[in-house]
Amino acid sequence: MENGSLSQGEGKDPSAFLSEIIGNSVTVKLNSGVVYKGELQSIDGYMNLALEKCEEYVDGVKKRSYGDAFVRGNNVMYISAD
């Protein structure tokens, strides 16, 4: 924070951000290092999430495509809006 201004993402409630990006493309990185890219369909307070049109990447290489994927929240390292 410089000169009292907020930088991008500062001061924003994470649950508000997540509810804003439902229906958009996201990247989800798991604690194992596996990355899922897809369209966020739902998320709950435990960060359990549902993705549509989902692709799985391991070490940057696409391994699988899924119609729907469900990820348990305790496995999530981060969620990034694309």
Is 0.85 topped by the overall pTM? no
pLDDT per residue over 28-70, tens digit each?
999 999 999 999 999 998 989 999 999 999 999 999 999 999 9
1 part of a folded domain = no
Q: Assess contact for 37 and 19: CB atoms under 8 A.
A: no
Residue 61 maps to a domain: yes
Q: Residue 62: give its domain's CATH number.
A: 2.30.30.100
Question: How much is the pLDDT for 11?
Answer: 66
Q: Is residue 64 part of a domain?
A: yes
The structural domain count of the chain equals: 1
pLDDT of residue 1: 42
Establish if 10 belongs to a structural domain.
no
Give CA–CA dist 69/2, Å, rounded: 40
Q: Domain span at residue 34?
A: 22-81
